[in-house]
Structure 1
């Protein structure tokens, strides 16, 4: 078992809790570990900052905590960082009022100005300092969408130069405006062809048949240029569990995220609870990686799985431990090592955000 470090621990450094990890490696080789620093509680709303720690030694040690995206006493969250070919680091994220709970947003009880809005910042000095935030909501959020989130986890720049940020949203409840009993999630992605200066929507997948309910999505560019999307499936299928489509779904795009070859379909090879996960394409060796809890019902048993056929089939490759675990993100550190940043703890999944170095040879 490889040694682990703990860049974020609940109840420390001025924050009641830390959630929603994302990690990238800069062009200089620095690791940037992002997450939400939740000031008053572990809840998904309230006073929340996006915080960052930097590591210049491959995740063995971490520098001081930086609050890189703040919104006063309100929320800045869902960090979606991506390192561009120029060396610039983009940080796409969402902002909302502290009082804007998910339930209130879904019920249409939150003014648009206080709801989930999309912003971007950047760093040109290896993540040491950051620009002010710039809003891009009107470019990437359709009227009528209520809840909205970027990723969670890292975004990506394709070999063509296009930036792809997976996202999700909700439609108004069907048949009622007073409850969330008929909540339908939708998947989409944000695209930029000018390194983050302007943005537009790529695919939009809105399936209301109860089989697939696209939620938090992660993406990777395959060696053949296709983009692979893997999503949390918050399905509402009322049929018996034996006929359930499962808690993961996936899709491919041949045109850089503009459209999907087919809508998201169940991915039964990935046993998982309803939870976020991460994917990462290695080029040498040619492996698509997946990280996420492997217990079918509970957020526990963080496991890395691998695919050699672009996500069609999967096999378990690296069980991390038997502890509670939830959200995660993957990063390539160097030719020999992959990094895993994930929520975990001895008795609950949200006690720490831990970083683990994993030898590539353990995955092959």
Structure 2
């Protein structure tokens, strides 16, 4: 009997070793360069991306004539432009570089975030932080502007933009008095559109933003960005010490907030649970730190939730995927993943546990990233890599990975053919 047990144990050991080796040897696709740094001598940074209803992929980035963040003057200019390229083959090849919006010596446009409406063939909304005031010096009296631009032809042309910064400051003036003396910053990368909640003509939009020295908040719009409200009310800070953050919708319509922390390493999560989805009535739970990411650098990453199938038993599930550098510095960019728990009393606390380290896609210097989910269940990532010698810009690369590749074979896509 003991001999049988020993043989069984050895079999399990070698099976586990083979599985581990298989996961380690998972072949990942070679990234495609979307924007090279520098471009015509000017640094590029800050990726933004969306997938259009017709399957097109739009990628955007800062074009930093001032060699710095929005609001800082350098060499006599505050100018930043926003560049865009389009792919019609899932990111394998890209069209020519176009300028979506051009800054001036006294005014810049940067840190874009973007969404393509799920119901309309050509309607796209892009937000740009703009002006000549840095985030750390902004206030209601001297704000960073929040310009929203619309395209109705899939990104070929754009309107002149509309500044909503005054109305956003107004949302907080009663419940967050400090907000009038501090800046807010609409996070770059993506604007999230609900799959489930449609009030009127459009599905609901979500954006996250920090208020300096207050924390991260989520705002929502039911009219495709013309007006905004604070999810859960301005009196509650869902992301304490939160900096740049991203929003994703959970399978039941609850809202997941993933925060870069302002003063320490790691990632902080919270969940808003609806009581009435149409009226946006509900409450935030208590923000929780993800233990598996405690040593990860402060950086703007992204999070998506995708339908998946557990490889071990074939069970259907939903998977949360977070992109972030997997180290204490801005390098070794990769993924963390975990199954999304079923609705429970404290989703935020549950979601803070159990994250697994997934594929690492770039060993060298790498920073900001944004994600987009394709119809076949694969995930596209647009990310900064290869910091230049002046520490002012990165190449912007794109890669498209299957759920199997991201998780090392632990999960597969539930929508793949």
Classify the TM-score, shorter chain. 0.7 to 0.9
- Do residues 127 (structure 1) and 155 (structure 2) align? yes
TM-score, normalization: structure 1?
A: 0.83
2:190 corresponds in structure 1 to 154
Describe the shift of the 1:185–1:274 C-alpha distance in structure 2 as closer, same or farther (beyond 3 A). farther
Please give the secondary structure, in 2, of the residue aligned with 1:275.
Answer: coil
Q: Structure 1's 59 and 212: CA in aligned 2 closer, same or farther, altered over 3 A?
A: same
Q: 1:258 to 1:317 in 2, by over 3 A?
A: farther
**Map of 1:273 onto structure 2:** 297
| Corresponding position of 1:186 | 215
Cα displacement (A) at 1:207: 6.3
Aligned to 1:352: 395
What's the CA shift for 1:263?
3.8
Distance in 2 between residues matched to 1:316 and 1:205, nearest whole Å: 35
Contact 2:308 2:403 in 1 (8 A): no
**Residue of structure 1 equivalent to 2:371:** 330
**Partner of residue 202 from structure 1, selected from 211, 215, 231:** 231
Unpaired stretches in structure 2, ≥5 consecutive residues? 1-27, 73-77, 174-179, 198-202, 310-317, 342-350, 412-417
Report what 1:3 is aligned to.
30
More helix by share: 2
TM-score computed with the length of structure 2 as normaliser: 0.73
Q: Which residue of 1 is the match for residue 205 of structure 2?
A: 163
Deviates more, 1:189-198 or 1:216-225: 189-198
**What's the CA shift for 1:294?**
0.7
Q: Match of 1:339? A: 380
Give the count of matched residue pairs. Answer: 331
Q: Which runs of 5+ in 1 are unaligned?
A: 171-183, 237-245
Aligned to 2:134: 101
Corresponding residue of 2:117: 84
What CA RMSD, in Å, does the superposition of the two structures yield over aligned residues?
Answer: 2.5
> How many Å separate the matches in 2 of 1:103 and 1:303?
29
- Contact 1:78 / 1:149 at 8 angstroms: preserved in 2? no
Equivalent positions of 1:203-218 (< 5 A) are: 203=232, 204=234, 212-218=240-246
Q: Which residue of 2 aligns with 1:58?
A: 90
In 2: Cα distance, 1:205 partner to 1:249 partner: 19
- Equivalent of residue 269 in structure 2, options 225, 231, 250: 250
Tell me, yes or no, if the aligned pair for 1:230 and 1:249 is still in contact at 8 Å.
yes
Question: 2:136 & 2:148 partners in 1: Cα distance?
Answer: 25
Larger Rg: 2
CA distance in 1, matches of 2:325, 2:235: 25
> Which secondary structure state, in structure 1, belongs to the residue aligned with residue 185 of structure 2?
strand
* Structure 1 residues 258 and 19: CA distance shift in structure 2, 3 A: farther
The aligned counterpart of 2:415 is none
Residues 194-222 of structure 1: per-residue CA shift (max 9 Å, x gap): 222322222447769xx941110101111
Please report how far the alpha carbon of residue 259 of structure 1 lies from its aligned counterpart in structure 2 after TM superposition: 5.8
1: CA distance, partners of 2:46 / 2:303: 15
* Deviation for aligned residue 1:321: 2.8
> Structure 1 CA distance, aligned partners of 2:388 and 2:104?
32
